[in-house]
């Protein structure tokens, strides 16, 4: 195979290893992007190209999680965290995303809503929950007397998985320190987990959302604070399954009751 075709093939293999399963927009990743993403393993430093699939796995390794943990340590504000996450190179999802999407709303709020990952609109705009799910979330908030100035809204992942595929366990593990840091900085009294991915990732369990929803649980933040947690259906699920809206309404009323008790 001549050099040009070999490079094209390597680039394609790189896209596949990075989880790309659709094309969108005009931007392209180039071989030099690929080389920036590949970790500096002994092999590629010594001149032997690392295989893309191996590299993608390496990016999601314990070392990447530790790196994410380490760089979060001294962070003192959401703005500082945003910069840190934008500069973080340990998760290949970043290279397929247009924007790094950190939280939206009020970083001093008592209540924090956590979803799964940015979708296409969120990736385009760079803001959490602005698409159809976000519009439904805004309506649900309004129904219990809340708006975005009274809560903080974010996701388990700051980057959109290509084609809205489900995030892998490794991608969640690498991104979780960023979410945990947001929780530590916002210091919410209450967390509402939107959907199973958010609930399972933060609570470290694998129960279905139908079992988790409807009861108060507890999450211990990285600074030791105990935070009351409620899980509920994700707005995207409610758009597909409107018959479950009554249960979602009941969960939002549970939250409203707690907020009222505190005021
Ligand atoms: N779904 C999510 O989980 N988060 C968003 O920001 C948008 C859609």
Q: Is the CB of 91 under 6 A from ligand 1?
A: no
* pLDDT reading at 14 higher than 80: no
d(C-alpha 205, C-alpha 59), whole Å: 24
Q: Measured from the CA of 155, which atom of ligand 1 is nearest?
A: 4
pTM: 0.80
Tokens matching residue 135: 């519009």
Tens digits of residue pLDDT in 114-123: 999 999 999 9
Q: How many Cβ atoms are within 10 Å of 206's Cβ, its own excluded?
A: 8
Q: Measured from the CA of 121, which atom of ligand 1 is nearest?
A: 7
pLDDT at residue 53, as a whole number: 41
Region 122-145: what's the mean pLDDT? Answer: 97
How far is it between the farthest Cα atoms of the chain?
Answer: 71
* pLDDT reading at 141 higher than 80: yes
* pLDDT reading at 139 higher than 80: yes
pLDDT at residue 10, as a whole number: 73
Between these two residues, 46 and 33, which has the higher pLDDT value?
Answer: 33
Region 119-145: what's the mean pLDDT? Answer: 97
To the nearest whole percent, how much of the chain has pLDDT over 70? Answer: 79
Q: What is the mean pLDDT of the chain?
A: 86
Tokens matching residue 139: 């309506």
> What is the SS3 assignment for 215?
coil
d(C-alpha 75, C-alpha 73), whole Å: 6
pLDDT at residue 101, as a whole number: 98
Q: How far apart are the CA of 116 and the centre of ligand 1, in A?
A: 6
d(C-alpha 240, C-alpha 234), whole Å: 10
d(C-alpha 71, C-alpha 178), whole Å: 9
């Amino acid at each position: 195979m001549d050099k040009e075709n070999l490079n094209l093939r390597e680039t394609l293999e790189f896209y596949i290893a990075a989880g790309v399963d659709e094309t969108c927009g005009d931007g392209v990743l180039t071989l030099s992007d690929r080389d920036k993403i590949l970790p500096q393993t002994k092999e590629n430093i010594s001149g032997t190209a690392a295989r893309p699939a191996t590299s993608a796995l390496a990016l999601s390794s314990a070392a990447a999680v530790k790196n994410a943990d380490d760089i979060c340590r001294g962070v003192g504000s959401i703005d500082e965290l945003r910069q840190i996450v934008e500069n973080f190179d340990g998760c290949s999802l970043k290279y397929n995303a247009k924007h790094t999407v950190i939280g939206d709303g009020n970083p001093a709020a008592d209540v924090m809503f956590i979803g799964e990952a940015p979708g296409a609109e969120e990736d385009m705009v760079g803001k959490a929950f602005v698409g159809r799910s976000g519009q439904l979330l805004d309506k649900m908030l309004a129904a219990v007397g809340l708006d975005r100035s009274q809560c903080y809204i974010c996701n388990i992942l700051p980057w959109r998985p290509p084609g809205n595929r489900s995030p892998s366990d490794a991608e969640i593990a690498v991104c979780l320190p960023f979410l945990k840091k947001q929780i530590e900085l916002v210091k919410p009294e209450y967390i509402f987990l939107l959907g199973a991915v958010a609930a399972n990732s933060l609570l470290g369990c694998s129960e279905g959302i139908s079992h988790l929803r409807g009861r108060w649980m507890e999450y211990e933040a990285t600074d030791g604070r105990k935070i009351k947690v409620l899980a509920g259906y994700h707005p995207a699920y409610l758009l597909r399954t409107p018959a479950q809206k009554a249960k979602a309404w009941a969960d939002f009323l549970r939250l409203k009751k707690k907020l009222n008790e505190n005021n």
